[in-house]
Amino acid sequence: MLDHLGHESVRLIGASWGGRVAVNFALAHPGRVRSLTLLAPPWPGYDWSADMVAYDEAETAALAAGDLDAAVRVNLDMWLRGPGRGWEDVAPGLAERLRIPVRTSLVHQDAVGEHSQGGPAGDIASIAVPTLVGIGLLDVPDFQEIARRYAARIPGATLVEFPDAAHLIALDAPTELSTALESFLAES
């Protein structure tokens, strides 16, 4: 795609699973990446907490029962609201805006899973481009620890904490994220 569009290298930004995709791309094609921004990416083989296991079990049970509405609620509760706040603290209307995209994602989850296994093996310490790692301080503690792990293991990476964001940083803190990205991209 990059060749078709005439881009020798790009600045990659990935959120959640997209962050892991960006890491895999940077490891597989280091010469094609100018900078990397990772917003709450997962870590392969991470030993998930009891809360994350309970979330996964609740989503799996809802999907197995054919209750897509319950699966959507479980996901909105985990990723939008997060463990550190009540629904009254989430921007009005945001859950409704996300309901259909989350539903669509869940409907196609098997296809996504089929194409997202594995990825390039590699040591993230070999990533040699400017890297920003962002984490919402209202996100699941697992993802906060993972973000710190990425920031510590990628040489020269910068960790940016978003105090008023859960997992979906771009939705919870769009102005703060834009400011952080503008500063980061200007320097890299």
pTM: 0.91
Q: How confident is the model at residue 1 (pLDDT cuts 50, 70, 90)?
A: confident
Give the distance from CA 175 to its chain's centroid. 18
Do 49 and 142 meet the contact criterion of CB atoms below 8 Å apart? yes
Both tokens of residue 54?
A: 């309970």
Backbone angles phi, psi at 52, to 5 degrees: -70, -40
pLDDT, position 152: 97
Q: What percent of the chain has pLDDT over 90?
A: 85
User: Residue 7 region, left (φ>0) first, then alpha (ψ -120 to 50), else beta?
Assistant: beta
Do 80 and 102 meet the contact criterion of CB atoms below 8 Å apart? no
Longest dimension (CA), the chain: 50
The CA–CA distances, whole Å, from 19 to 6, 22, 113, 150, 169 equal: 23, 5, 16, 11, 12
pLDDT, position 173: 96
pLDDT in tens, 87-139: 999 999 999 999 999 999 999 887 766 656 665 568 999 999 999 999 999 99
Is 105 exposed, middle or buried (CB count within 10 Å of its CB: 0-12, 13-18, 19+)? middle
Q: What is the mean pLDDT of residues 29-54?
A: 95
Distance from C-alpha of 125 to C-alpha of 90, rounded to nearest angstrom: 36
Q: What is the mean pLDDT of residues 159-173?
A: 96
pLDDT, position 179: 97
pLDDT, position 9: 87
The position carrying tokens 């906060």 is: 144
Question: What does the mean pLDDT of the chain come to?
Answer: 92
CB within 8 Å of 3: residues ≥ 6 apart? none
pLDDT, position 113: 63
Give per-residue burial for 45-61: e unless 16+ CB within 10 Å, then b. eeeeeeebeebeebbee
pLDDT, position 120: 59
pLDDT in tens, 57-80: 999 999 999 999 999 999 999 999
